[in-house]
Structure 1
C-alpha cells in the first residue's frame, strides 16, 4: 500500500491498521518509507504508527537524543496512544526507542532494534557527506546497504538535498554528536522489556559486534542475524525481517523463554 501521511497539530505521521500498537522510529537519514515492508505486512493485524521525526527542522537547541525522545513522548500524548506498544527503531530510531523505554517503561511492551545506535556507530562510513558532491553522497548512501542497488536514485537524491541545506546539516551534526555522547552501556540493564535484535551480518555502520554487545547488556534480548544485509534489514531483507518480527509478536512469544 502507498503510505498516507497524516497530520495532527504539528505532527506528521503514518497510522495504518487496527490491533496491537506498533510504534516505528526511523533513523537520522531515514524516512517513513523505510518501514514500507513492515506496514504492508502488519497493518492487517496491528495498528502501525510512524511519526516523522523532526531531525531536519527541530529547534537547534533541542537537536539531540533527549529532544527527539521528548518529541516522541509529546506525539504519543497528542495521539492518545495510551496502550503499551511494541516499539521498533532503526539506527538513530533505535537509540531514541531505548531512551524512550528507559523513561517510560510502562508504555513499552516489547522492543525491536535493528542497526541501532546507542553503543557505537560509524556514521555515514566514518565521514560526513560533502556538500555539492553527488557522487560522494551516492557512495556513502550505498555504504549503508550490502547490495548498493538498494540505494535508489530517489534515496540518494533525498540525502543529497538534505546535505545541501545549511540549516539541516547543522541539526544532523548536532543530533549525531548527541548520539555519540549518549552512550547507554550503563543503562541497558534496566530495560526489562523483551527485546528482539535483528541485525545485518554485513552492517558496516553498527557492525555485528555491536549487536552482540546489545544482546549481552539487555536482560531479555534475543539476537538474529540476516546474511547479505547491511544497516537497514527491514529495507534490504523485508521478508526475512517480517518473519522474525511476526514470530516475536505471536502470543506464544510473550511466554516463551528467551532464545527458545
Structure 2
C-alpha cells in the first residue's frame, strides 16, 4: 500500500502526533500544565475561523492564535495572577468565541465537528507533511534543550544557579505547545488534544524510572493509542478522534491496574 491509501496516511498522521505530544506531554504533566494545554488548544478554533476569513492556511491560523494564547497565559502567570481561574475563563471564552466567529462566515462551509473532534481519515499528503515537519521540529527542539528544560522543571533555583533562565525555558515549552496544537487539530481536534498530551505520559509514569524512559514509553503508548483507535474506529464505525483517546484511556487504566498489582506483590 502507498500514501494513496487514506488508512496509511491516517496511521502515519496519528503516529506523528503521538511522537510530538510524547515529550511535550511529559513536561505538561511534570509542570501540572494540563489546563494550560486546554486553553491553548481551545483557542485554535478561533485561529481556524480567522484563517478561513483571510484565506490563509488553517495550520497557520491555528498556530498564530495558539501562540498568542500561550503567550498571554504565560505573561499572566508571571504576574502572580490566579492562573487556574484565568485559564478557565480564557479556555472556554476562546472556544466559544471561535465557534461564534465560524457562524459569521458567509458562503463558507466549515465542518466544525472535524476541527472539534478531529478527522484523521481525511488527512491529505500536505497535512501529513505538516504534521511530521511539526513533530520533528518539536522533538528536535526539546532534545536540544532537554537538560535545561528538565532542570528548570525540577528546580527553578537550581536552574538559575546553573545559568539557566526558567522563563526562557517556559517560553520554549509555550512555543512547542502551540506547534503541537496546530499540527494535531486535523487528527484529534481541539477538544481532544489535551487528552493526547496528558493520558499517554500519565500511563507511562507508572513504569518509567527516569524522565527519558517516561518520554519513550509515552511515545509508544501514544502511537499504540493512535493505531489502535484507528483500527477500532474502522471495524466498529465509531468517531476516530474520540476512539483514539478512549484507547489511550483504556491503556492508562490497564497500566495503573498493573502498577497497583506490582506494588501489592512487592509489599507482600
Q: Please report the TM-score for the alignment, with normalisation by the length of structure 1.
A: 0.27
Q: Please report the TM-score for the alignment, with normalisation by the length of structure 2.
A: 0.27
Larger Rg: 1 or 2? 2
By percentage of residues, which structure has more strand?
Answer: 1
